[in-house]
Chain A
């Protein structure tokens, strides 16, 4: 009898599990647009309802164009009623085709609207072009004159008066539009005002009440991208690279893309829902114009609709242009309009333009570009020792071993659980003796424990974020009752940074680096698992105004701490989960708590590509998936793809089974070792690409269309990606795949790096795959540097010789670059680096110096092997100048592995130094 009751219970539970299984994500615990008043209001506004007109248009002494935005007198309405004060409009133009528009309200009020500091580079201001004058022009049948200013060669900006609109166009009155603001009249700016009698400003969501003491203050507007086939960007969402429309005829009605940094438990692989970080930067790309971009610097909650074509058909008002375009609606709860328009026109131009505003990626240390091994948690020193030694036992390289929250004394960061980690220095030094680093976690929630020195100082000095009543905000996170450091204040950041000094962080050594998690911030008992919007920061700024930037400031402070610790000459490594524009200057991000499922492996590609497009190139996803147990095939496939992505770390939840690469039998160990080794052989190429990203902002992992902007077949491809301009990587995202479909972009020939076989571009191929690897192709015309020797970690690879792989194009030419420095310091800024360009043509390979600061960096490294793909003749030897030596040419393997064929032309032991100028001529 009892038994049958048991069965009944199990059955019931099983049934309830069936009905809830697909949605472990707690949708109802997060606000949707309808539950978010500002979003609901903005979404229901009708096109062309904006009734503002610029007036008093002038050029200031600072070279800006300024105006007042006045409310148009409405003949139908009593003008005295509800009359808004004028808004302040300014328009500035910067080098390389960047337009900045600011719209603000009169700030002579008690409450100042928040303008996000510390994001726009100081250098950016110096790139401002001082406007001298504007032209006047009547647009179409307008009644009022509009104002036209120069933007860059071939582009100009128009401030249209009635209807109020700002747009960028190609030069000349008939010039094609590129980007526009408020072309659909959806601009609305809720100015701060006094509460009306009986008005209720509070907002309630579930058990939480937001006091909203300043009332409505949201901003919304429309932005149009002309000549666009697709729009991209605005991370972080687990969704496709090309953003699907969220609203419009024939579009399945969905939530807008939400930008609100949240700790989402078990996020879905396909959702416009906001995740851990926010970058309000959107790019468009299309055949006719190319690429353009729009960035709104605003740290409040944002919601963005991508409108399907015909969305405003009902308004029956003539479209501003019959050009193909994509319209978008941007809505934010607070802040100001501080918007940047980038004209492109090439994909790399736009990312460079964006980087000139928010900065390029920090140059990582070489070790950080290797493989990272993490788990929640490596439990104690013995565990660490054991995992470390297993890598050596299996001859698998890795660079960093990570410790999650359990290493601390009761989740008090900067401390150690001394039972489990009695000798942390010794442990780190032991790893360091084999060239390996350690990373520990430091989160922003501080345990409210009087005995904890960080808490004691922070509470004494008033360094915590306050609640609406002015008391230290008390939330709940890993340690239980916790408060959160107010990182918006530069003084507090400086205090925090000092905590990373070796003398302060007891048990730390110079080989220890940091991981910032939970910095959205995650608050287990807060509304939507984060901090209440009415919490107060430094300068009386409400949390609602800067929420999306909170994690950024925390990341910044931690990164500054490591910089200080290293005397300013040790490049920090800090991984952060939350991010904001500018994060790329401080470190690395990853895509948070993903799940061990094929579709999550699949979506990690567009997520990482999107981060790269929006500035953060150094990013990755947890290999294997954080939650759940990947089956072995998924794990292997994940390693195989992730080896080509910028940040390469295996990580797992503590409920999962161990999954270090050697735990799945000899064959699978071999497969994962091969995948990791591929990464290590390509590190010279990766490091060169990281340098390119550091200089230009062009990401390491690129969508195909960034390299092939003319090839429409690439625009929405987010299964394959480019590493630099030379490698095309196609992941395998399904179980037991026997073949995969690969599109090779139009133009060059492609060489399969497994066989050396050549494929014509512009076609889709069905490529056979085995479990051994995934399809990777080298683009003809490129030269890729490798180091084909295997070591324990990057440190031991320093003196190893290079291999160059030359993929010759149809004219017999190819080129590539190699960047080398000491891999850790900032000496490269003083010229301590090598930057070589290799060019191959007419059977001759030449190495020339690209370094502009002269060579102060020495390397004895040589080139041991040069592989030629697609070279037509069959030379027997090669002459090296200036040494006049002769090197043999023979058939060799493309990758050295047992059982491979010697099928590719190989120059054997040219042994030229990478630091020298030389030529090698095939004879």
Chain B
């Protein structure tokens, strides 16, 4: 029933009155299939002179004898509202007790009961029982349920939009606070740096002085020795001292330190990254080469990719040839000989396993990706590093460190650092010589700490800026979804939808990216994720999430209608709109109004 072309008509009292007067003049049998509000259209047929009525498309006119006479006179079906004679006709069933329904003329007397009141089957060949009362009750109950959901949903939504405004304001405030802190901290760092450099200069001077002295001393000794043994070289200690100085000399912006620290991390993963890069390239060769025609999307391995199929084992040959139809890569088929069923998917998963094997996400499942290490990394990378081709994995400790600036419950860190720095600056006079080495050490330490904090602060600012730039809907109703992920398990797959970020499909330890956050569509009723992992022989994966009103945020009905084009629904209070609630209420009112009528008739 739901599948049919459904028209729910609201019938106003006004029409009821008119109908009564019209109906009085002709039997309702003549006007079978006509909606009550349309009955007036046919009024002229009953006029005293035996009038005629124009077809709605204006093509012709017809008489009372031609009305519902099972012969199509009006090509738009005006004269045959109650028969199947006109292909474009529509039949109205009253469905007393339920909602009226308009069905295609093709349904009339076709042996299938389409209207719950059975009025579409009147030729006596098919017996339809009137199910409107039951169906209507079910529909009304469902509608009531829906209204209840909407009612609650609207409240939640209201609350959430209010909250969102507060949170957004808080975030804004936080951001400006962070920005001003950044400014101050930047000043401190610069001062410390200056201080540190001065100390270092002094130290350097002292060192050179010392060196000179030592040199002289040594030369004196050497000349003594020379006299005994002859010449020798003693450059080395000097050089090692130079090295030391280099390390201590932390570059102008103080960023090199961070950079080199990152470099270490980077290098630690370099081999992994390379591995990944490599496997991606391998995929490319096997994936791109076979595409023979981008227009048709035909996939076939080109001559080059045909390899030397003669050299394959019988089994591999079978797989290789079969893969032309399935689009499945033979190298990967070895993994799932026993489960050819999920051929395409499996192959992709295997690839992902290869390329994502080192992705932290597969090991740690962060529900809240804001804490996700990867995210921090991106921000830091943006600030501190221009090398766009690299991707980093954070050291978990870094994140722990982060908490000291992140925790809003502990705002004193900023004051603390200011105080400490002040103390340090006051206590240590860089121009005083000889420098106390332990003091120099303190300055250096303070500088490192402050500088590290500055970097973290900047990353936080960048993240927050990014968040605040996002489109959360006209009333910021989607604000609370930021930084959240929602999962749905379907058979062996876990689908994870992270609004404003990305969507994935996980099977065991392998993750397939269904898409990156694109935007909302269809006036905030659809979320779009695009440019996911590429499908062999197909497009990049994408996901379209249809939003529905619901009290909880939940992902459901994940589907793949076309290959690699996914669809899902997400319930959220954000979609529980007041206007829609009103519509539903009106709808119920119309349904309820019909009820007394059916009682009358029964």
Contacts and interface: CB of A to CB of B under 8 A. Distances in A.
A733 interface: no
* Chain A interface mostly: loop
Given A2-B277, A476-B319, A524-B321, A898 B296 contact: no
A628 interface: yes
Contacts of A792: 106-107, 110, 112
Contact size class for A?
35 or more
Interface string B96-123: 0000000011110111100000000000
B298 A627 contact: yes
Interface stretch (A13-21, A136-144, A182-190, A686-694): A13-21
Interface stretch (B71-79, B158-166, B217-225, B235-243): B71-79
B298 A864 contact: no
Given A16-B289, A26-B306, A596-B296, A6 B281 contact: yes
B468 to A, nearest CB: 32
A410 B285 CA distance: 30
A864 B60 CA distance: 19
B87 A790 contact: yes
A434 B112 CA distance: 7
Contacts of B75: 893, 896-900
B524 to A, nearest CB: 23
A656 B106 contact: no
B298 A628 contact: yes
A657 B537 CA distance: 12
B390 to A, nearest CB: 9
Interface string A651-665: 001111110000000
Contact of B317 (A476, A597, A627): A476
B433 interface: no
A480 B71 CA distance: 59
Given A3-B389, A475-B318, A655 B563 contact: yes
B432 interface: no
Given A2-B389, A524-B321, A864-B70, A410 B296 contact: no
Contacts of A627: 296, 298
A478 interface: yes
A481 interface: yes
A524 B319 CA distance: 7
Nearest to A593: B325
Contact of A17 (B76, B110, B291, B389): B291
B327 interface: yes
A3 B299 CA distance: 25
A486 B291 CA distance: 37
Contacts of A864: 70-71, 85
A677 B3 contact: no
Nearest to B312: A207
B297 interface: yes
A39 to B, nearest CB: 21
Contact of B302 (A16, A411, A433): A16
B562 A658 contact: yes
Interface string B277-301: 1000100110011011101111110
Contact of B315 (A17, A525, A629, A865): A525
B91 to A, nearest CB: 12
B284 A13 contact: yes
Given A16-B304, A17-B302, A896-B75, A477 B318 contact: yes
B318 to A, nearest CB: 2
Contacts of B87: 677, 788-790, 896-897
A790 B106 contact: yes
Interface in A574-604: 593, 595-597
A10 B283 CA distance: 12
Nearest to A482: B318
Contact of B296 (A19, A389, A629): A629
B299 A908 contact: no
Contact size class for B?
35 or more
B57 interface: yes
Contacts of A657: 562-563, 565
Contacts of B84: 789-791, 800
B302 A207 contact: no
Contacts, number: 202
Contacts of B320: 524
A593 B299 CA distance: 13
Contacts of B86: 896
A10 B296 contact: no
A432 to B, nearest CB: 11
A775 to B, nearest CB: 22
B289 A17 contact: yes
A796 B309 contact: no
Contact of B341 (A397, A417, A524): A417
B314 A476 contact: yes
B332 to A, nearest CB: 14
Given A24-B300, A796-B110, A524 B563 contact: no
B593 to A, nearest CB: 28
A20 B300 CA distance: 10
A289 B4 CA distance: 59
Contacts of B560: 379
Interface string A848-877: 000000000000000011000000000000
B340 interface: yes
A507 interface: no
B509 interface: no
A480 B337 contact: yes
B43 interface: no
Interface string A780-794: 000000001111100
A265 interface: yes
A799 B76 contact: no
Interface in A622-638: 627-629
B518 interface: no
A26 B296 CA distance: 18
Interface in A1-37: 2-3, 5-6, 9-10, 13-14, 16-17, 19-21, 23-24, 26, 29
Contacts of A865: 71
B231 interface: no
Nearest to B56: A898
B285 A628 contact: no
B179 interface: no
Contacts of B105: 790
A266 B300 contact: yes
Contacts of B337: 480
Contacts of A653: 325
Interface string A109-153: 000000000000000000000000000000000000000000000
A478 B293 contact: no
A597 B298 CA distance: 11
A207 B312 CA distance: 9
A479 B340 contact: yes
A529 interface: yes
Contacts of B106: 395, 397, 789-792, 796
A133 B211 CA distance: 133
Nearest to A479: B340
B330 to A, nearest CB: 10
B303 interface: yes
B88 A478 contact: no
Nearest to A677: B87
B112 A796 contact: yes
B302 A20 contact: yes
Given A207-B311, A477-B318, A898-B88, 12 more contacts: A3-B389, A13-B285, A265-B325, A266-B298, A410-B339, A480-B337, A628-B293, A628-B295, A629-B297, A789-B84, A800-B84, A902-B60
27 contacts: A2-B389, A17-B288, A19-B302, A24-B292, A24-B293, A207-B311, A207-B312, A265-B300, A265-B321, A265-B324, A383-B561, A389-B3, A392-B3, A406-B341, A411-B341, A419-B491, A435-B111, A476-B322, A524-B319, A653-B325, A654-B344, A655-B299, A658-B561, A789-B87, A796-B110, A796-B112, A864-B70
Give the top 9 A-B pairs by smallest Cβ distance, nearest first. Answer: A476-B318, A628-B296, A525-B318, A389-B3, A20-B302, A796-B110, A24-B300, A524-B321, A524-B318
